[in-house]
Chains A and B, each alone.
Chain A
Amino acid sequence: MAIFQARTLLSRSFSTLSSHPLRVCVVGSGPAGFYTAEKMLKAHQEAQVDIIDRLPTPFGLVRSGVAPDHPETKIVINQFSRVARHDRCSFFGNVTLGSSVSLLELRELYHVVVLAYGAESDRALGIPGEDLVGIHSAREFVWWYNGHPDCKNLDLNLKNTDTAVILGQGNVALDVARILLRLATELATTDIASHALAALEESSIRKVYLVGRRGPVQAACTAKELREVLGIKDLCIHLQEADLLKTPKDEEEIKNNRIQRRVYELLYKAATTGPSHPRSGQRELHFVFFRKPDRFLESDERKGHVSGVHFEKTVLKDVGDGKRIAVGTGQFEDLECGMVLKSIGYKSVPVDGLPFDHQKGVVPNIRGRVLRNTSGDPTLLEEGLYVCGWLKRGPTGIIATNLYCAEETVVSISEDLNLLASKASLPKPGREGLLHLLDNRKVKFLQFSAWEKIDSTETRLGSLKNKPRDKLTTWEELLKVARE
């Protein structure tokens, strides 16, 4: 079967390409991967691009990160699907860099390897009690409600407590707060994973605290997300008006940053217009500023479970370059809760043979060209190896950021190919070699057509429940449908 697949693919590729195609492999099929593929196909008519992904499903965080109640944001999947169906492009799901194929092997098979596999781990706070039951990373929670097969069985209990604390005030934190606070009936018609919807329907959480180390002027969210969470139906918003006082430094910061200015204005408006006392049972959202977590508190009744967070109050301190950081004041305060979601940033994970800057959590690179080490010496390059997306610049930005990020990486690739014109024209096995290798290792890769089967199954199942799709959320289900 796999051999037959391979043959079909090869005959297709040979018929549409010159005898010496430029073999390109992109690792990761999220926005960074797809934008890179799209731009490579456009810039190099002789390029044959293979996109590999460890999951059977493409689109990375568009599928497993973007909130279910943001369907418009996911429309970009249309564009990515057109790229995947391009004559000179192929998608190979269920192929894991590091276990199915090593980085060294990929670099031998392809002229150009672009790593765009993002950030699949989390930053840690490194404070006592972080391992208590009831504390999760926001990423896990997001994967859980988005039906990522690795988080279906996340040990979440939404029925033990009425209070959740979210550490962080970025857009991920706001997404998570919104999913916890919106009425489940409103989420029922989204593509939220069914197991998540069922759990949220029974959720006893009524109070959510969004806690930030700095003030409202420095909140890391964007206006759209904030406007949305503030607009949740029948939600009582709490904010200490004292926190809204601005220092001259704050004024200056706001003046120079449109996003911060508009976020601050929204918070200000919410604080000054909102009702002050919730009715009993009404859901509450509390914005808490100038607090940093010091340690997690363990429950007396339920050993090993979290019962609260011990916070230290903070003030902003100048550290030069106009930058200000939050420093502790020595005053502490406890906040009781039965669940904590840490939304303090994603972290990339290196693979064997890849230079990695552990401090920054990225691959050392100059405009997408991978450097041999973190010394910053631009002459020490890893030939033919590039990065794009979160692995290149850290876990920030929106989908569109990858558009520009990919453009930059592809410009670097094109410049290098021009310089190395003679070398690059040496034939490489590319797709043929990859498929041969996967075949030998009995790795059952899945093509884009397999995803299309998953897609149509999910859409069909969704239509029965008045959802745009009902996601398949286990590896078994995904692989079964993909191979039907």
Chain B
Amino acid sequence: MLVSRVSRAGILMLRGLSRGKLTPITRAGYIQRPYGQYLQPWFERQTETKVFQGSIFLKHHNFSTTTTANASEEGSEKEETISVTFVDKDGEEQHIKVPIGMSMLEAAHENDIELEGACEGSLACSTCHVIVMDMEYYNKLEDPADEENDMLDLAFGLTETSRLGCQVIAKPELDGIRLAIPAATRNFAVDGYVPKPH
């Protein structure tokens, strides 16, 4: 599971490198002490080690920059986006455009939407839990993998249409999707829900 996601990131990064357009660290704040070392074997230790460290989290940011830059030069591809609405804890709506291929976690962060991402999309926490607000859209998503379900087990205020934001990847059919960010405090205090011990 992780391997396939990582290699996907790797391909994107390599593509970026071959075009020589890649900005090594686009959002300096994000990756300071990444555990990217673990990923290196899959990338055959390229010279641009720094780029690969934490690449999962940055990949689409880099990629989209690259595509946009190339679109004018080569006229080959135009950046495709879909409309996504985030509904935050207070019920405020935010409408954003998300490039195809980008995860909702990355999209939220690029748009300063408050969605936690403690493990930075490595499928090791449940903090980017979102609730797909329409069943119709939920059904357009592939079923969550065991690993995602394992994390959803621990999410606060889990619903029938809960997903992890890092696992929902923008694709054309999802145009118009609405995602609610669960109101954490309310769930914690009122339901008194206590997850199983660590």
Contacts and interface: CB of A to CB of B under 8 A. Distances in A.
Interface of A: 65, 70-79, 81-82, 170-172, 220-224, 227, 258-259, 262, 345, 367, 393, 395-401, 403-405, 407-408, 411, 455, 459, 468
Interface stretch (B9-17, B74-82, B147-155): B147-155
Contact of B197 (A78, A170, A400, A405): A170
Contacts of A405: 188
Interface centre among B38, B126, B198 (most CB of A within 10 A): B198
Given A71-B35, A75-B34, A82-B32, A395 B197 contact: yes
Nearest to A394: B194
Given A82-B29, A404-B187, A262 B120 contact: no
B122 A408 contact: no
Interface string B137-159: 00000000011011101101010
A396 B154 CA distance: 12
Contacts of A79: 118
A400 B118 contact: yes
Contacts of B198: 65, 170-172, 396-399
Given A71-B38, A396-B195, A408 B185 contact: yes
Contact of B153 (A81, A259, A455, A468): A259
Interface in B7-32: 29-32
Contact of A408 (B118, B124, B189, B195): B189
B14 to A, nearest CB: 22
Interface of B: 29-35, 37-38, 116, 118-120, 122-127, 146-147, 149-151, 153-154, 156, 158, 184-185, 187-189, 194-198
B189 A75 contact: no
16 contacts: A72-B119, A72-B122, A76-B119, A78-B30, A78-B33, A81-B32, A170-B196, A172-B197, A224-B150, A224-B151, A345-B197, A396-B196, A396-B198, A407-B188, A459-B33, A468-B38
Contact of B118 (A76, A227, A404): A76
Contacts of B151: 224
B149 A400 contact: no
Nearest to A456: B33
Contacts, number: 121
A71 B188 CA distance: 27
B188 to A, nearest CB: 4
Given A71-B38, A75-B124, A79-B118, A397 B194 contact: yes
A357 B195 CA distance: 22
B52 to A, nearest CB: 14
A31 to B, nearest CB: 9
A178 to B, nearest CB: 14
The 9 closest A-B pairs by CB, nearest first: A72-B124, A224-B150, A72-B122, A404-B188, A76-B118, A396-B197, A71-B35, A404-B184, A170-B197
Nearest to A367: B189
Contacts of A65: 198
Contacts of B185: 404, 407-408, 411
B31 A259 contact: no
B28 to A, nearest CB: 10
Contacts of B195: 259, 396-398, 401
A366 to B, nearest CB: 10
Nearest to A260: B196
Contact of B156 (A70, A220, A404): A404
A227 B146 contact: yes
B164 to A, nearest CB: 12
A401 B194 CA distance: 8
Contacts of B119: 72-73, 75-76
Given A258-B153, A399-B118, A72 B197 contact: no
B25 to A, nearest CB: 13
A468 B35 contact: yes
A393 B195 CA distance: 12
B146 to A, nearest CB: 7
A65 B197 CA distance: 13
A51 to B, nearest CB: 17
A73 B33 contact: no
A171 B116 CA distance: 23
Given A172-B198, A396-B198, A73 B124 contact: yes
B153 A222 contact: yes
Contacts of A398: 125-126, 154, 195, 198
Contact of A223 (B122, B153, B189): B153
Contacts of B187: 404
A459 B34 CA distance: 11
Contact of A227 (B38, B150, B196): B150
A222 B150 CA distance: 8
Given A70-B124, A77-B33, A455-B33, 12 more contacts: A75-B119, A75-B122, A82-B29, A259-B154, A259-B195, A396-B198, A401-B194, A401-B195, A403-B118, A404-B187, A404-B188, A468-B35
A70 B156 CA distance: 22
Interface centre among B29, B118, B127, B184 (most CB of A within 10 A): B118
A64 to B, nearest CB: 13
A402 to B, nearest CB: 10
Contacts of A468: 35, 37-38
Given A172-B198, A223-B150, A404-B188, A74 B35 contact: yes
A407 B158 CA distance: 18
